[in-house]
Structure 1
Amino acid sequence: MPFHVRLRFGPPPSPAITGTWDSEATAERKFRGFIGRYGSRADVRIELLEETADGQLIVVRRWTKDHGEETRPRS
């Protein structure tokens, strides 16, 4: 299943930069790279999402400057 990384400069529904990869490892590297590059900005939200078979997006990891990294348990 595809994995997505979303970078937002502000709360939803602000515009987002997104990327999609078939490899979770590649998406994880991009997620970490965005944290390194933009994670110190107060308005940044970075998410790693997994796309389900029916097209829903589930947040796997999330980063904000205030809360750091948050990981969602997988079912």
Structure 2
Amino acid sequence: MNGPAPGQSVAAEEFHVTVTFRKDGPAVTGTWADSAVALEKFLGFVGSHGSVPGVTITLWAEAGGVREPLRTWTKDGGLVIHREA
């Protein structure tokens, strides 16, 4: 088999948080092995940068080299939960 069946996900190996300052612009990325630490960092970035127009903050899970978004924050859209970690 080549990965999980559609609609299923595998346990994440790493978690990433990206802060993009404008569409297709510069970004800051951090990587953690612990989902709780990554979520704490995500929430910290929302607190420090979430009210800035154009900023997108995303928490990602990565397994087998494939990233899936877990949560995204933008000033205009607020919090979007794609799936739980």
TM-score by length of 2: 0.81
Aligned partner (choices 15, 29, 34) of residue 18 of structure 1: 29
What is the Cα-based RMSD across aligned positions, in Å?
0.9
Instruction: For residues 40-74 of structure 1, give each alpha carbon's deviation from its aligned partner in whole angstroms, at most 9, with x where no partner exists.
Output: 0011000000001x201100000000010000135
Find the aligned partners of 1:43 and 1:20 in 2 and give their Cα distance.
22
Q: Can you give the 5+ residue segments of structure 2 that lack an aligned partner in the other structure?
A: 1-12
Identity %: 42
Aligned partner (choices 13, 16, 33) of residue 4 of structure 1: 16
Q: Can you give the 5+ residue segments of structure 1 that lack an aligned partner in the other structure?
A: none
Alignment of 1:1-75 (within 5 A): 1-11=13-23, 13-52=24-63, 54-73=64-83
**Following TM superposition, where does structure 1 have runs of at least 4 consecutive aligned residues deviating by more than 2 angstroms?**
none
| Structure of larger gyration radius | 2
TM-score by length of 1: 0.91
Find the aligned partners of 2:14 and 2:83 in 1 and give their Cα distance.
18
1:17 match: secondary structure? strand
Q: What is the aligned residue count?
A: 72
